[in-house]
Amino acid sequence: MKKLLLFFVVAASLFACQPPAKPVFDLANAKKEIEAADLAISEFMAKGDSAGMASAYSTDGSVMLNNMPSVKGKDKLTTVWSGFIQAGVSKLTLTTLEVWGDENFITEEGLFEIKTKEGAQIDKGKYIVLWKKEGGKWKVHRDMSNSDLPLATK
């Protein structure tokens, strides 16, 4: 009987020393959060809010667009997005195709379309965004896109 009791005490202490099970990461829910963040970015563009656009990025986030160097830092991101707004961009549509990753980083593949207030298409193409969890929210960490439109020639 003592051996049986000793076995239960040892087994219980071993079980009690196990770390708690890590919660399972819910990628489907993370995708919904990413899509909601994309919608907020589109709304910032529609309002002409370049600072709001920049706020969607992580503290060390950057954007890598066609025909220009990478831009990093909230002030520089605000300036870049302000330039687009001043050039007449007012509608940015983002469509998520696929996401993959974990609780720290999510990669999003998607399509974009950029239009003027009048509805004229300026650009369309595809993008890859690396999202980073920062302060409990998904923030754009790396933003890279390229156009589907032919290169303008003179």
Q: Is 17 inside any structural domain?
A: no
pLDDT digits (tens, 9 = 90+) for 82-94: 999 999 999 999 9
Residue 74 covered by a domain: yes
What tens digit of pLDDT does each residue of 41-59 get?
A: 999 999 999 999 999 999 9
Asked whether residue 62 is assigned to any structural domain, the reply reads yes
- Nearest 10 degrees: Cα torsion 61, 30, 41, 68: 40
Q: What range defines the domain where residue 87 resides?
A: 26-147
> Is 154 inside any structural domain?
no
Strand ranges, E, within the chain:
57-64, 71-72, 89-101, 105-116, 121-134, 137-147
CATH code for position 96: 3.10.450.50
| Token pair 């589109």 in the structure block, residue | 42
Contact 138, 153 (CB under 8 A): no
Number of separate domains in the chain: 1
Residue numbers in the chain where pLDDT is lower than 50 = none
